[in-house]
Chains A and B, each alone.
Chain A
Amino acid sequence: MKEQKSRPADRRRLLYRSPGVSHFIGGLLVALSIWICGLSVSIGAETANPGSISLSGSDHWAFQPLRASKVPPVHNKAWPQNEVDSYLLAGMEEADLSPVADADPYTWLRRVHFDLTGLPPSVEAIESFVNQNTPEAREAVVDRLLASRAFGERWARHWLDLVGYADQIGTSNNVFAQHAWRYRDYVIDALNEDKPFDHFVREQIAGDLLEAESVEEQAAALTATGFLVLGDVEIVEADKAKLRVDIVDQQLNKVGKTFLAMTLECARCHAHKFDPISLRDYYAMAGFFHNTSSIYKTNRGVWSDVNLVELPETEEQKTQRELQTRTHERQLNDWRKERQEAQVRRAQLEDLLKGGTPSEAEQQKWTQERDERARRIGRLNQLIEHAEFFYPDVPKAHGVHDVDTPTDMRITIRGNPRALGDLVERGFLQVCQSGDTPDIPASQSGRRELADWVVSNPLTARVIVNRVWQKLFGEGLVRSVDYFGLPGDQPSHPELLDFLALQLREQDWSVKKLIRGLVLTRTYRLSSQGSERQEAIDPENRMLWRMHRTRLDAEALRDAMIYVSGMLKPSGGGPALPLEFVENVGGLNPADVNPPSFRFSKWRPEQQHERTIYLPVIRHTGQPGPAALRNVFDFPQPSQFTGQRTVTTVPTQALFLMNSLVVKQHAKALAERMLGEPGTMRGRLSYLYLVLLNRPITSEETKEAEWFLGKGESSDWEELCRAMLAANEFLMRL
């Protein structure tokens, strides 16, 4: 088995083993953290400005302002296509490396399709592109992909990996996150609209506090705050005070890791061991979430639930809902009426059976009818309860709002909500402060100002540029994509990182422009072929003299299989959980001790063929039904924070590709698709390779495949397709 991690473990280990950053010793740590807490209390009492403790490590590269640099000169002037290429080529030349050859147009096209949309190119797209293979043709391809809905469907999943997104609240009792899909759709839409990244950040931290210009914008902004609550919230925690501080901690962490690539949680109990983050920094920042309402205690037992916010509707949406309500109401009334009639009739039958002296035939007939009525009443009870629970309502999303009377937060000693220390004024990480920091209005939580601070500090732009880079080139310029702290990785090309970060700001934080610029570089066009000489110099390919090869992730693999078998069904988003089926929900009775819950008795037929991003994500088990492939191909647990997924190679994956029903079904559909094409076996074979591997078949391959197919019965084609769906070339993006 091989594992590819975002950073070289050996190097990091060394850093960790070095003296001065030795391991914690539990008992000592306890003492130490209490001591630190105590210390900060005493500082607070004695100094005028308790916040300003000088912090070592503030000269670390990641905290420095973005710096513009001159594009470095290169010897091979003909090679670079733009500044990005120049930065990279200069690095290569300095290390006595040179870029390998460009990839052939087929490889480039497949690469850019998978990277931008998570799907392979169609046969038509291949044919029209390879005939041209000009810069203009490449631009046209990239523009077409960026404008496609599939772009957002692909890149939203990258974002959801950072959010702990699931369609379930907590891990106990299958509590449904009925409206979580709105956040998922929000992310897809934001990416497809190319919402400026700074605004994307603001909406997710403080969407409820922003002014909106339209109803749609306001609804989007409110939905965006789902970022703060759609994580692993343990709503069954009986200790509500603990639950509250834990959620604050979780929200602060999420902001820290997602936007800043910093771990702030360490400073919950003590000053950060490696990074210049103090206990006070933590509580200053935590104060924003301390004043944010995210959950509430329900009437059911110990259960809490995540806040719901009502979303404003457009006139059109309102009209449509009213229409729906009328249909719903009609159906409900029909059922109620039917139930009443059935009840009356059942009572009649009871009387008939009890009183009088029915003949044997009558008794049998009445008994039978009574039992049928009873069964129907049982079913109607279910249907009515379900229809009442899911009565058309104002659209809602999981989100947050400010508390009524904001206050600063007290230090909780070792995170214990009952062991309180000093009050800490809300504020920002001292290490990233440059110039004035926004004032926090007394009547608000301050999340809006936090959002302003997040987008204005140098980390955020560097972090997102690096995240995008990693998704396109396979590894980040900073390989520890989720951690820019002192023991994290150093950027391989610091000037380039800043160049891109500055450019992102200049281009109004347009993520699409960033991506466009990167995939149109010469570097992105490089072949992935190795070179023994260069590998000896730069075994990890940090200088990017060739393209990194990557295995398709779970989503791309499943989506590609559905796509090539011709079964992909487009989707406009919407609820992931099929809660509309009565058999999929339980516990709707308000008197129940436990909250309403879901199960998967029934799927919508189209869910078998929708893109994976639209399938439910579950916290407490493996991923269910059509999403089962996720369990085998390194889909991260929703509670995991993963800017870069681990890639493992284990034979359970091979077993899945060899034996699972779902791969067999796709192979069958693909075989049928091939046999549905007119022409000879040879013609169909070249079509198959174009569909599956997005390149022409070679003569050697043709010969082999013809031999393999024998008479070319449909079962032979199925076997061939099963083999090819498991082929490395299909599983990988070269």
Chain B
Amino acid sequence: MKILNQMFGHGDGHGLRTNRRQFLQSAACGFGGLALNGMLGARAASVGSIGQSGLHLPARARRVIFVFLAGGPSQGDLFAPKEYITRKHGTAIDSPVGDDGQLRVGVAQFLPMAPIKPVRPRGQSGMMISDLLPHMAEVADDFCMLRAMVADNKAHFPAALQFHTGHIAEARPSMGSWMSYGLGTENADLPGFVTIHPPGDPRTYGAGFLPARHQGTPLRVPRNEKELAIENLTDPNATADTQRRRLDFLQRSNQRLLDHVGGDAQMEGIISSFELAFRMQTETPDLVDLSGESKSTLAMYGVDEGASDTNGRACLLARRLSESGVRCVQVTMDGWDHHGDILHALPNSCSKADKPIAGLIRDLKQRGLLDETLVLISGEFGRTYWSQDLSGTSPIEKHGREHQQESFCTLLAGGGVRGGCVYGETDDFGYKPVQGKVHLHDLHATMLHLMGIDHEKLTYPHHGRDFRLTDVFGQVIGRIIA
């Protein structure tokens, strides 16, 4: 795995003639100490890992795994049924939205729609989870459910961007990058932030103005021999010998130039990057090779089981990376944007996600990792409890649900959160939070808090001011912490 880390710049310096600035930058590559140093001032002069002095707070979690359910899963169907909505199923109600002048497409009738499948109390805690997620239901007591999450934008791109970076526009650092910057990587051979099947917008895993080494490393779980885990990883038409021969020629030319100019850190960086790239071609496939995992583990994640195979592999790879010390691993699962025919579409999405997520929780627990790994499962927003009918003419059985950022549900597990805790409540319409509201900024603040970081102190200077993940907002939600 060493190779993946070096490839994204986390290896040690190149032993070059460098100036002071370059030295600091390359020295900071290998461990989190200097980032911490820069961040925390003198207090953290020699911090290399969590648990030593230098963190703002005692850390409850060492690593984060974020399962991003892109599109906006329907919390009313999955986690938080509303008695009033179920009672009024299919009959028009007064709009709870109020006259804010905003046209909501296809929801002019405000037809409440009951959950499409039963949602039942689970485990000791009685946390409500749908029959659509039977495996997750079995680990309900490990989850902490936030039922009054709030975001600021109703459209996928800005909302997803805000979930990842705290901001609906611009190119701010993503939370994984902040964590990598703040804490460095636990394993000097691995990058601090890996994103498996990343969302389309590169800003969601970008480092923004943070040093580029903190950007998310995109990985893909190859489905066959032709698919590459990383873009341009190999050239199918060139043998290793041909490539080596070409590379040798190239490197001789590079070395000559380097000697001629009398040393150049950037040129040397490029020279070693080619060597790393060459080695990556053979070593990366091993990294994503899951064949060493036991049959029972594979089965737990739903690997090789049709619907859940891709996500199962992604979650298993996430565990492998996390176990090896990657600070933040993200797995993105698409397909939660159910504007129509949610009756058929949602079960489909659930069958792809249920086992992989439950498997991840179980596996982490079995390995004794759940305590120190914070798992976050969420969409960028949720969906309305009333139906949406884009055609305007179809029966309610064919309806879907519109985006809703005013309130939605997010799950947390492990990493110092209270298992079985259900936090927050919305009104009878499942629309506005009435208690336990958690804004995205609060979630970010809480996550950093669990990792031992005061979100107000993790800053980076850019264009003349100090920026942070939570901007000028964010409150730690103490009630959900064990």
User: Given the complex of chains A and B, what is the CA–CA distance between A234 and B161 in angstroms?
Assistant: 12
* A722–B464 touching, CB < 8 Å: no
* B253–A724 touching, CB < 8 Å: yes
A659 partner residues in chain B, CB cutoff 8 A:
232-235, 238
* B463–A652 touching, CB < 8 Å: no
User: Given the complex of chains A and B, what is the CA–CA distance between A237 and B158 in angstroms?
Assistant: 9
Say if the beta carbon of A1 comes within 8 Å of chain B.
yes
* A593–B105 touching, CB < 8 Å: yes
User: Given the complex of chains A and B, what is the CA–CA distance between A488 and B461 in angstroms?
Assistant: 10
* B254–A728 touching, CB < 8 Å: yes
- A1-B212, A30-B472 known; A727 vs B456 contact (CB < 8 Å): no
**Which residues of A in the span 707-734 have a Cβ within 8 Å of any Cβ on B?**
708, 719-720, 722-724, 726-729, 731-732, 734
Q: When the two chains form the complex, which single residue of B8, B38, B281 contacts A13, counting CB atoms closer than 8 Å? A: B38
A275 partner residues in chain B, CB cutoff 8 A:
464
Q: When the two chains form the complex, which single residue of A301, A593, A637, A729 contacts B203, counting CB atoms closer than 8 Å? A: A637
Say if the beta carbon of A528 comes within 8 Å of chain B.
yes
- A172-B158, A639-B203 known; A274 vs B26 contact (CB < 8 Å): no
User: Given the complex of chains A and B, what is the CA–CA distance between A488 and B235 in angstroms?
Assistant: 45
Count contacts on B: residues with CB < 8 A to the other chain: 94
**Which residues of B in the span 115-163 have a Cβ within 8 Å of any Cβ on A?**
153-158, 161
- A3-B213, A655-B277 known; A639 vs B466 contact (CB < 8 Å): no
Closest to A30 in B: B472
- A269-B472, A273-B465 known; A640 vs B276 contact (CB < 8 Å): no
- The residue among B106, B213, B464 with the most chain A CB atoms within 10 A of its own CB is B464
Say if the beta carbon of A48 comes within 8 Å of chain B.
no
* A2–B277 touching, CB < 8 Å: no
User: Given the complex of chains A and B, what is the CA–CA distance between A86 and B277 in angstroms?
Assistant: 46
* A25–B168 touching, CB < 8 Å: no
User: Given the complex of chains A and B, what is the CA–CA distance between A631 and B215 in angstroms?
Assistant: 13
- Looking at B17-25, B349-357, B421-429, B432-440, the stretch in contact with chain A turns out to be B17-25
- The residue among A652, A654, A664, A722 with the most chain B CB atoms within 10 A of its own CB is A654
A27 partner residues in chain B, CB cutoff 8 A:
475
User: Given the complex of chains A and B, what is the CA–CA distance between A595 and B21 in angstroms?
Assistant: 48
User: Given the complex of chains A and B, what is the CA–CA distance between A482 and B464 in angstroms?
Assistant: 9
A657 partner residues in chain B, CB cutoff 8 A:
274
* B25–A3 touching, CB < 8 Å: yes
User: Given the complex of chains A and B, what is the CA–CA distance between A485 and B466 in angstroms?
Assistant: 13
- Looking at B244-252, B293-301, B359-367, the stretch in contact with chain A turns out to be B244-252
Q: When the two chains form the complex, which single residue of B153, B249, B270 contacts A649, counting CB atoms closer than 8 Å? A: B270
- Looking at A16-24, A124-132, A380-388, A404-412, the stretch in contact with chain B turns out to be A16-24
Q: Mark B236-261, 1 if CB is under 8 A from A, else 0.
A: 00100011011101101110111011
Closest to A707 in B: B249
Count contacts on A: residues with CB < 8 A to the other chain: 100
User: Given the complex of chains A and B, what is the CA–CA distance between A171 and B168 in angstroms?
Assistant: 10
* A651–B105 touching, CB < 8 Å: no
Say if the beta carbon of A677 comes within 8 Å of chain B.
no
* A301–B103 touching, CB < 8 Å: yes
- The residue among B157, B201, B278, B470 with the most chain A CB atoms within 10 A of its own CB is B157
Closest to B390 in A: A593
A528 partner residues in chain B, CB cutoff 8 A:
261
A173 partner residues in chain B, CB cutoff 8 A:
155
Closest to B200 in A: A621
- Looking at A4-12, A352-360, A499-507, A606-614, the stretch in contact with chain B turns out to be A4-12
* A652–B212 touching, CB < 8 Å: no
Say if the beta carbon of A321 comes within 8 Å of chain B.
no
A262 partner residues in chain B, CB cutoff 8 A:
464
Say if the beta carbon of B206 comes within 8 Å of chain A.
yes
B278 partner residues in chain A, CB cutoff 8 A:
654, 658
User: Given the complex of chains A and B, what is the CA–CA distance between A319 and B102 in angstroms?
Assistant: 44
User: Given the complex of chains A and B, what is the CA–CA distance between A171 and B164 in angstroms?
Assistant: 15
- A13-B461, A236-B158 known; A658 vs B8 contact (CB < 8 Å): no
User: Given the complex of chains A and B, what is the CA–CA distance between A655 and B231 in angstroms?
Assistant: 8
B38 partner residues in chain A, CB cutoff 8 A:
9, 13
User: Given the complex of chains A and B, what is the CA–CA distance between A17 and B470 in angstroms?
Assistant: 20
A269 partner residues in chain B, CB cutoff 8 A:
472
- A172-B156, A530-B262, A655-B232 known; A701 vs B253 contact (CB < 8 Å): yes
Say if the beta carbon of A656 comes within 8 Å of chain B.
yes
- A529-B262, A551-B266, A727-B250 known; A650 vs B9 contact (CB < 8 Å): yes
How far, in Å, is A622 (CB) from chain B's closest CB?
A: 5
User: Given the complex of chains A and B, what is the CA–CA distance between A339 and B120 in angstroms?
Assistant: 56
User: Given the complex of chains A and B, what is the CA–CA distance between A531 and B261 in angstroms?
Assistant: 9
User: Given the complex of chains A and B, what is the CA–CA distance between A282 and B8 in angstroms?
Assistant: 41
- A26-B472, A648-B212, A651-B277 known; A234 vs B8 contact (CB < 8 Å): no
A302 partner residues in chain B, CB cutoff 8 A:
102-103, 105, 154-155
A17 partner residues in chain B, CB cutoff 8 A:
41
User: Given the complex of chains A and B, what is the CA–CA distance between A658 and B102 in angstroms?
Assistant: 52
User: Given the complex of chains A and B, what is the CA–CA distance between A528 and B235 in angstroms?
Assistant: 35
What 3 A-B pairs have minimum CB-CB distances, sorted nearest first?
Answer: A1-B9, A654-B277, A539-B19
Which residues of B line the A interface, CB within 8 A?
6-9, 17, 19-22, 24-26, 29, 38, 41, 101-103, 105-106, 153-158, 161, 168-171, 200-203, 206, 208, 211-213, 230-235, 238, 242-243, 245-247, 249-250, 252-254, 256-258, 260-267, 269-271, 273-274, 276-278, 280-281, 390, 455-457, 459, 461, 463-466, 468, 470, 472-475
Residue contacts A-B, CB under 8 angstroms, 27 given: A1-B212, A2-B266, A9-B38, A10-B20, A12-B461, A25-B456, A170-B157, A172-B156, A232-B169, A236-B153, A237-B153, A246-B169, A266-B465, A302-B103, A549-B264, A549-B267, A620-B200, A620-B201, A621-B202, A650-B9, A654-B277, A655-B232, A658-B232, A659-B235, A700-B256, A701-B253, A732-B266
4 more CB-based (< 8 A) A-B contacts, given A528-B261, A540-B20: A620-B200, A649-B9, A704-B249, A731-B270
